[in-house]
Amino acid sequence: MPKALYPGSFDPITYGHLDIIERAEKIFDDLIVGIVENPRKETLFSPAERKELALAALEEEGIGVSKVITFDGLLVNCAKSHDRESIVRGLRANSDFEYEFQMALTNRDLAPNIESVFLMTSGEYSFLSSSIVKEVKELGGDVSTFVPRVVEKKLAEKFSVPD
């Protein structure tokens, strides 16, 4: 089976991401989670914090991946440098599709040997995004069904709201 890279902002990692990781782990021999250092959107957490949270969340959930890395620059260059044949992405709704479609075709143009593979969200996480988690927590809401404990704690610290 090919080796894969699952890239994203992971700001912060949620149960939606973890579900994709867990399922991708069963399909690919070797999965690396790649945290984009400078995504186009502004992030709440630094690359180092996002990596630390991803590692802690994976541990809390008992999910083993081969590695969590941070990277900058072109995604296909990161995939090549780690010897990856596949890029894994999750799809939630129509709104994800348009962007993912464009990215996948662009990446295929840049690196024809790297295949993008899409895993459909699980129904229970189809509405879940890092942005909604941040919004709810900043307003003092309970996000325990959206993110592991360690992530909720860190969000509470960041927003100075009760844990």
Least distance CB 152 / ligand ADP (angstroms): 16
From 76, 92, 93, select the one nearest 84 (Cα to Cα): 76
Residues paired with 7 in a beta bridge: 34
Which one of residues 4, 76, 78, 89 is an interface residue with ligand ADP (CB under 6 A)? 89
| Residue 99 near residue 123, CB atoms below 8 Å | no
> What would the two tokens of residue 43 be?
């992030």
Query: Is 17 noted as a catalytic residue in this protein?
Result: yes
Which one of residues 5, 128, 150, 155 is an interface residue with ligand ADP (CB under 6 A)? 128
Q: Is 106 in the site for ligand ADP (CB under 6 A)?
A: no
3-state secondary structure of 108: helix
Q: Interacting stretch for ligand ADP, rule CB under 6 A, among 3-11, 54-62, 107-115, 150-158?
A: 3-11
Give the Cα separation of 163 and 92 in Å (integer). Answer: 28
Query: Is 82 noted as a catalytic residue in this protein?
Result: no
Give the Cα separation of 108 and 139 in Å (integer). Answer: 41
Among 3, 23, 80, 92, the one annotated catalytic: 92
Among 84, 89, 130, 154, the one annotated catalytic: 130
Give the Cα separation of 122 and 152 in Å (integer). Answer: 21
Give the Cα separation of 158 and 160 in Å (integer). Answer: 6
Q: Is 125 in the site for ligand ADP (CB under 6 A)?
A: yes
- Please list every residue from 19 through 48 that binds ligand ADP, using CB under 6 A: 20, 39
Active site residues: 17, 41, 92, 130
Binding residues (CB under 6 A) for ligand ADP: these are 8-10, 16-17, 20, 39, 89-90, 92, 96, 121, 125, 128-130
